[in-house]
């Protein structure tokens, strides 16, 4: 995120419910049935955030982030949705994502997509698929919506119950229905990407040209719909092919109408959100999570009370200088401390007591070969640094 010059934004865990109702849309699954909503003591309705975009835009408007020509922000935050828990679907989960607010050119969409893809590439993740689409804008979508609706009216009674409801509220969402019969019935349905106005069509073409020149593989999929009226032009998803039923690693798109809808100036914007747990699941499947836990370089073992006091202050001194160490905080015997150092795979042990302190000499013992090296207090830090550098 820093390499792409995005700055971190943190927003509260909850917001006024009205923000999400307007920012995400009353007719979406999230607002309709998934939000954790409750009244506070003054009967204001609050909601635990189910996604970040509405909160980011609220903050953007409230704190004048629009003073900069293009505001680029990223986040990593817990999210809450009341869904049926299953693999890859949790009720408290985490998302990381980014929003670029203030730019209308397809170059911004390309950067947001490149940023998302680059994160997976940097982590060594394979088997991902980028799907892109254009969902049009306020000038071309209404006519397309009417066309799609009249196409679907003819098969209305054969559609799933959910899709029949969506025919009234949000017909575009029928295109990404998971129901088998719906899929068959919509196989030849008209798609937004084939009915774009000249402006949206050029935007989509230029985005594809940018992705091609960045050598980012993609597939155009006319069924990717973000399903909200505020979404415009670009919509995309990154699919993890190892994930199973819940296979979306990340999703994003352009939302040129949202800032104005939430009370700000007319401001184009684009962003993405990615699931952290699904990222970890993918890394686990692809054996990319085999990072050994960090081990302390040195265990400071105390032989007596004098040694305990010394270990406590020496540990802070080491840590201030970037040397990882551990000590006994449970008053254990010297023998038990040595067992603990071994259990934690500490690489060296220094035993300290009244004797060592009086003599002004400690022994650094290697746990690997048992060898012991004498060291004076004045050289302790330097020697520890040398051992750390040896790796």
Would you mind telling me the total number of residues written for the chain in this entry?
391
- Binding of ligand AMP by 271 (CB under 6 A): no
- Binding of ligand AMP by 93 (CB under 6 A): yes
What is the edge-to-edge ordering of all strands in the sheet holding 325-327? Answer: 325-327, 298-302, 348-352, 362-366, 372-375
- Binding of ligand AMP by 81 (CB under 6 A): yes
Determine which residue in the list 51, 99, 182, 229 makes contact with ligand AMP, applying CB under 6 A.
51
User: Looking at beta carbons only, is 249 or 349 nearer to ligand AMP?
Assistant: 249
Least separation in angstroms between residue 229's CB and ligand AMP is 16
Q: What's the distance, CA 71 to chain centroid?
A: 19
CA angle centred on 176, ends 35 and 15, rounded to 5°: 20
Residue partners of 237: CB distance under 8 A and separation at least 6: 130, 131, 221, 224, 248, 250, 251, 252
- Binding of ligand AMP by 89 (CB under 6 A): yes
- Binding of ligand AMP by 248 (CB under 6 A): yes
Site string for ligand AMP, 298-327 (x = CB under 6 A): ------------------------------
Least separation in angstroms between residue 90's CB and ligand AMP is 4
User: Looking at beta carbons only, is 78 or 331 nearer to ligand AMP?
Assistant: 78
* 8 Å CB contact between 48 and 75: no
Least separation in angstroms between residue 47's CB and ligand AMP is 15
Q: What is the spatial distance between Cα 280 and Cα 6, in angstroms, rounded to a whole number?
A: 23
Per CB under 6 A, which region of 11-19, 134-142, 160-168, 242-250 contacts ligand AMP? 242-250
Q: What's the distance, CA 318 to chain centroid?
A: 34
Element spanning 89, H or E: none
Determine which residue in the list 250, 283, 315, 325 makes contact with ligand AMP, applying CB under 6 A.
250
SS3 362: strand
Residue partners of 317: CB distance under 8 A and separation at least 6: 381
Number of chain residues interacting with ligand AMP (CB under 6 A): 17
Which residues in this chain contact ligand AMP in the complex, by CB under 6 A? 51, 81, 83, 88-90, 93, 95, 248-251, 273-275, 277-278
């Amino acid at each position: 995120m820093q390499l792409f010059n995005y700055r971190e934004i943190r927003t509260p865990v909850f917001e006024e419910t009205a923000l999400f109702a307007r920012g995400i849309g009353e007719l979406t699954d999230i607002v309709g049935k998934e939000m954790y909503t409750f009244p506070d003591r003054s009967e204001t309705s609050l909601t635990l955030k189910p996604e970040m975009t509405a909160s980011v835009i609220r903050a953007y408007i409230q704190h004048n982030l629009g003073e900069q020509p293009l505001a680029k922000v990223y986040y990593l935050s817990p999210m809450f949705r009341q869904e049926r828990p299953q693999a890859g679907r949790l009720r408290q989960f985490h998302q990381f994502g980014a929003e670029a607010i203030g730019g209308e050119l397809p170059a911004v969409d390309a950067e947001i997509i490149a940023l998302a893809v680059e994160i997976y590439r940097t982590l060594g993740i394979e088997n991902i698929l980028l799907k892109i689409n254009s969902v049009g804008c306020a000038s071309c979508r209404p006519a397309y919506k009417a066309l799609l609706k009249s196409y679907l009216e003819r098969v209305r009674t054969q559609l799933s119950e959910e899709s029949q409801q969506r025919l009234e509220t949000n017909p575009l969402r029928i295109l990404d229905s998971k129901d088998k019969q719906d899929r068959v019935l919509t196989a030849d349905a008209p798609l937004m990407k084939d009915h774009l106005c000249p402006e949206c069509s050029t935007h989509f073409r230029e985005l594809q040209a940018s992705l091609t020149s960045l050598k980012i593989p993609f597939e155009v999929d006319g069924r990717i719909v973000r399903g909200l009226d505020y979404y415009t032009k670009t919509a995309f998803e990154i699919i993890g092919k190892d994930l199973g039923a819940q296979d979306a690693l990340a999703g994003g798109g352009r939302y040129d109408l949202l800032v104005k809808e939430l009370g700000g100036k007319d401001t184009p914007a684009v962003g993405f959100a990615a699931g952290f747990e699904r990222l970890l699941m993918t890394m686990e499947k692809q054996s990319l999570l085999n990072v050994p836990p960090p081990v302390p370089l040195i265990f400071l073992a105390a032989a007596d009370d004098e040694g305990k006091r010394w270990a406590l202050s020496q540990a802070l001194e080491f840590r201030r200088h970037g040397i990882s160490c551990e000590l006994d905080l449970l008053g254990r015997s010297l023998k038990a401390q040595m067992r603990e150092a071994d259990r934690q795979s500490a690489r060296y042990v220094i035993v300290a007591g009244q004797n060592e302190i009086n003599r002004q000499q400690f022994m650094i013992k290697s746990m690997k070969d048992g060898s012991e090296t004498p060291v004076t207090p004045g050289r302790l830090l330097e020697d520890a640094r040398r051992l750390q550098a040896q790796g």
